[in-house]
Every structure is written in structure tokens, then in C-alpha cells.
């Protein structure tokens, strides 16, 4: 039985003041959630968010982590820094990191291995662009990214990893794959994990990350392969995010 996981990716949004306001409104709305709930906040809000959700059902997440323990990597953040702040989950390989900052499958793999080594739980993102989708390359892209991200990671670590399928063309555009399309592609990812790890893939939680919102959450979450959502825009409003969480 895979426990659904809904994670809010706040991206580069919310000052400390805005973080407090959002969490103050959100905490009472989702206290009866049946799924696991995570908020992946900006670095500047990690400490205050961690304090606010300490005695709630919300888990703390960050939006990236470096593969090195320390060093001359200006503007990066280490796993030790995140762990000290009480972070549990960390997003790795988000399409915006791949698209705007040149993240490669090898970099995603390095970040994931370091996160696991330090006790963080990676949310590893994979997904195709619109051109790749229209070119019939979806299956090739997501299997290649999945295999690259998990290179050298042992089966025992799978219980601490979440995969997020996020079609790049559906992120921040308001577009979304049909529930069947999303389910089918997640099945491709799960089949690739089964090729790599065998039966252990059945227990892997795979989220959908393409503009899940209050209107489509229930339909998407009803699909057998979809185990949750990595939520962008809808996570920035307490009422919207709560409706997704309580789908």
C-alpha cells in the first residue's frame, strides 16, 4: 500500500512574513489529511517554517542540495546545512533546474546520492518538453532520466525516494496531461524502475507534477499509478493547496 504524498514546491516565492501567513492559514485546514504533506520552501524560510510545522502533520522540504559536502560552490547549499535545519525532503532535478541552470542526469544523480547519504529523502523529478512529447520521445526521455538519476543507488534506498513525473510543458502553463496520459507515463517510469530493481519498484511512490490543482486533483489521484502530486502554483494559496491535499 503506497501512502500518497502531496508536496508543495513554493519555488522562489514567499518572504519570511509571507511564509508565516501562509502556514498560519494552511495548518488548520489540513490537520485531517490522510496523505503525507510536505512544503518545500525557499532557503530563507526553512528555519521559520520548520518551527511552525514542528508539531503538525506537515513535513519540511527544500528545493535543492549540492553533491559536495562543502567548498567553493557559491550560492549552493549542502546536505548538512539542510539537515541541521530539520529538513526531511529535498527536490532534485526539477525541470526548471534542468532548463534554466543546465542540470544534467549526472548532476541529479550526484545530488541524490549525497542527500541519501545524509539522511535526506529526495524527490527526484523527470519529464519531457513539449517538443519531445510531440516528437514521440516521452518514453525515451523519462526512462533515460530515471536510469541516469538512479545510477549506483541501491534497492534499500528506494523506500526513502519519491519520483515526480513533471511534463515540462504542463508546469506553470495551466495545461495538464489528461489523467490517463499522466497515469500511462508514470507506468512507464515504474516499469523502468522494475527493470532496474525488480519488485521493489511496486512500492515506489511516483507523483504527478504538472499543474495539479483543486479542479483536477481528485481525478488524477484516482488513477492507480499516481501516488501524489508535486504542486507549484496551487501550493501558494492555503485554500487551494488544502483542497488538493484533501482531494
Residue 163: its pLDDT value, please?
Answer: 98
Residue 169: its pLDDT value, please?
Answer: 80
Closest CA to 193 of 165, 221, 224: 165
* β-strand partners of 40: 9, 61
Q: Is 187 exposed, middle or buried (0-12, 13-18, 19+ CB in 10 A)?
A: middle
Closest CA to 38 of 79, 80, 88, 84: 88
How far apart (Å, rounded) are the C-alpha atoms in residues 198 and 178? Answer: 28
Look up residue 3 and give its DSSP letter: P
Mean pLDDT of 205-231: 95
* pLDDT tens track for 22-77: 999 999 999 999 999 999 999 999 999 999 999 999 999 999 999 999 999 999 99
Q: Where are the domains of the chain?
A: 5-171+186-245
Mean pLDDT of 237-242: 98
Cα dist. 228→10, 117, 171 in Å? 16, 25, 16
Q: Mind telling me the catalytic residues? A: 94, 166
CATH fit for domain 5-171+186-245, picks 3.90.1150.10, 3.20.20.70, 3.30.2140.20, 3.40.50.1000? 3.20.20.70
How far apart (Å, rounded) are the C-alpha atoms in residues 164 and 205? Answer: 8
Q: Is 78 helix (H, G, I), strand (E, B) or coil?
A: coil
* The three grid cell numbers given for residue 190, joined into one nine-digit string: 515504474
Alpha-carbon Rg for the chain in angstroms: 17
How far apart (Å, rounded) are the C-alpha atoms in residues 133 and 141? Answer: 9
Amino acid at each position: 500500500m503506497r501512502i500518497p504524498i502531496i508536496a508543495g514546491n513554493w519555488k522562489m516565492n514567499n518572504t519570511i512574513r509571507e511564509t508565516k501567513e501562509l502556514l498560519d492559514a494552511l495548518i488548520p485546514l489540513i490537520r485531517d489529511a490522510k496523505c503525507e504533506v510536505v512544503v518545500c520552501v525557499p532557503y530563507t524560510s526553512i528555519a521559520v517554517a520548520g518551527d511552525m510545522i514542528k508539531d503538525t502533520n506537515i513535513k519540511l522540504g527544500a528545493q535543492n542540495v549540492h553533491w559536495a559536502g562543502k567548498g567553493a560552490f557559491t550560492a549552493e547549499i549542502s546536505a548538512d546545512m539542510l539537515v541541521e535545519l530539520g529538513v526531511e525532503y529535498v527536490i532534485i532535478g526539477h525541470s526548471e533546474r534542468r532548463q534554466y541552470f543546465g542540470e544534467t542526469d549526472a548532476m541529479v544523480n550526484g545530488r541524490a546520492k549525497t542527500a541519501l547519504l545524509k539522511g535526506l529523502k529526495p524527490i527526484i523529478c523527470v519529464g519531457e518538453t513539449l517538443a519531445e512529447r510531440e516528437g514521440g520521445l516521452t518514453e525515451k526521455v523519462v526512462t533515460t532520466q530515471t536510469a541516469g538519476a538512479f545510477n549506483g543507488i541501491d534497492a534499500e534506498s528506494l523506500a526513502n525516494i519519491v519520483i515526480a513525473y513533471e511534463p515540462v510543458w504542463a508546469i506553470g502553463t495551466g495545461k495538464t496531461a489528461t489523467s490517463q496520459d499522466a497515469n500511462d507515463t508514470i507506468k512507464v517510469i515504474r516499469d523502468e524502475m522494475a527493470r532496474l530493481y525488480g519488485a521493489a519498484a511496486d512500492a515506489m511512490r511516483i507523483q504527478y507534477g504538472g499543474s495539479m490543482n483543486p479542479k483536477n486533483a481528485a481525478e488524477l489521484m484516482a488513477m492507480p499509478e499516481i501516488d501524489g502530486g508535486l504542486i507549484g502554483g496551487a501550493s501558494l494559496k492555503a485554500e487551494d493547496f488544502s483542497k488538493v491535499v484533501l482531494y
